A and B are shown apart, each in its own frame.
Chain A
């Protein structure tokens, strides 16, 4: 690893730890009450869902309209696994697993099942170009919802209640950090660059010897895996699963976060997830006008800034500090040195 990179990682890690400590202090002081902590956890879930969808839609450039389907698969698998792992039978045998272990095992299983689903629909449809993946994933999302509505072990239309509550502020914070880190390194790896090249020009990528179908499936199933994990996090916080919350509108909400933040920008997705989770809550005073304002803002935003808030650029703490340090207004006497 280059020293420059090492510096950046340490800097970002310090900033994240500082953020964590600040939030913990605010919570212990009671400034952030349960309501706010709930919103923060939802922000975490939305960050996982949006950054993962960004791999498929932003970096790979494939329209996917069924992310809520993967989320549902992840949520139900994870809920069922966690129920099995914390069941009476295991506890009576003296096997009591710590919460975090149960959470990680069940989330991962949920993610793996989502990957299997994504392979089934991804391999045939990603051989083609155009909107096919979007349409097929749309159909897939609806099929998943209807099937869950009719299966016995998922509680049918009444939903599934009593899912073990395992997600709390501490573990979701670090899980989000780890996932975003994995996705960031993935997009900057050789494989990530191959995926970006497909977005830029599929024919040129193919001509340069990139196995396009392989990388398209890889990108899509990576998105599905973390989408499933996002579903797991959601299930273990909300504790009650209603199949109709995983409909087409949920997929659209996630897609809106991705597009608003900027397709191809993970930090953009994070910022947009924060804004779009808080915005409907902040507009609560307007009651019935809330969604009208929300959707109106969305249209206006897209008309005036179609590439989203960040475009494909990433927010970099290092560059930000650099700019702050050598800002002529803030510190007029220092000169900007080349290569610093």
Chain B
């Protein structure tokens, strides 16, 4: 029973990282209908930024987080301006290929700049586990969970209550109409990319702290799984990404613990296929009527 609860908490913690990355996918998809395959690489870059902040500048953990998130936000805006903005009117599949190209580009850039050997993330969070009523939980797990939930609440407040947040919702609802209402669409899209990338970087930093290694292709699998999480919850929906992230993290941790560690990826993707066949818009998605 204790083991089950421990696995449950681990699942929540892994899930919260997926949820953070999934938010980036879902925000961008919601606003420009693009599957931003370069998002995983932004997460990887975020981890490298944090590594630099800790090793070169010797920053404390919170400063590292902020440093990495700000740089990643700038990177996200740059990617959008350089690669996606010229393709806004092009066929969607071309934009998708550009995203994949961008993802490869960032991976190889990291390979050239930082080298192929994995960098080891220093212990920025104390290793010893906390004992809660006989249940051993790692400090990293708790910090991950708390930070993720904190930023999710901040995001939720931001989207619901602030002007830029409302603009984001308006643009994702109807781009043309929001132009008429005086919303600066380009700026809103940039803000979306900045927020998504910053959250992705946060996920990357937490991921690298939890798994201690940083390498250029580290984001491929977590990126894909976070994308799966976003689709599972209902792509374009912010609560959907969070729910999907937690489900994927939970399923992955529990299958690794109780069924088979090798098959866990297949089970995660299998669940995605099943859910899409039964409910194509994802768990929280609503059916939309088609307009002719």
Contact = CB atoms under 8 A, between A and B. Distances in A.
A256 B290 CA distance: 30
Interface residues of A, number: 43
Given A139-B270, A142-B224, A143-B273, A296 B35 contact: no
A67 to B, nearest CB: 14
A255 B97 contact: yes
Contact of B262 (A129, A149, A291, A307): A149
B9 to A, nearest CB: 26
The A interface is mostly helix, strand or loop, or mixed, namely helix
Interface string A162-183: 0000000000000000000000
Given A146-B265, A149-B262, A289 B105 contact: no
Contacts of B266: 142-143, 146-147, 150
A184 B126 CA distance: 64
Contacts of A121: 273
Contacts, number: 121
A289 B112 contact: yes
Contacts of B57: none
A237 to B, nearest CB: 25
A289 B104 CA distance: 12
Contacts of B111: 288, 291-292
A154 interface: no
A259 B97 contact: yes
A1 interface: no
B177 interface: no
A252 B273 CA distance: 20
Contacts of B91: 263, 306-307
Interface stretch (B64-72, B82-90, B130-138): B82-90
A96 B112 CA distance: 52
Contact of B98 (A289, A299, A308): A299
Interface in B245-273: 260, 262-263, 265-266, 269-270, 272-273
A125 B272 CA distance: 12
Given A139-B272, A146-B263, A306-B90, A292 B108 contact: yes
B96 A124 contact: no
A294 B107 CA distance: 12
A58 B87 CA distance: 18
Contacts of B231: 135
Interface residues of B, number: 41
Contact of A125 (B101, B107, B277): B277
A187 B290 CA distance: 29
B100 interface: yes
A306 B99 CA distance: 12
A16 B292 CA distance: 46
Interface string A224-256: 000000000000000000000000100010011
Interface in A118-145: 121, 124-125, 128-129, 131-132, 134-136, 138-140, 142-143
Contacts of B93: 57, 63, 259, 263
A302 interface: yes
Contact of A291 (B95, B108, B260, B270): B108
A203 interface: yes
Contacts of A31: none
B104 A303 contact: no
Contacts of B290: 129, 203
Contacts of B101: 256, 295-296, 298-299, 302
B224 A248 contact: yes
A81 to B, nearest CB: 24
Interface of A: 57, 63, 121, 124-125, 128-129, 131-132, 134-136, 138-140, 142-143, 146-147, 149-150, 203, 248, 252, 255-256, 259-260, 263, 288-289, 291-292, 294-296, 298-299, 302-303, 306-308
17 contacts: A121-B273, A124-B277, A136-B277, A138-B224, A142-B224, A146-B265, A248-B220, A255-B100, A259-B93, A288-B108, A288-B111, A292-B108, A294-B104, A299-B82, A303-B98, A306-B95, A307-B91
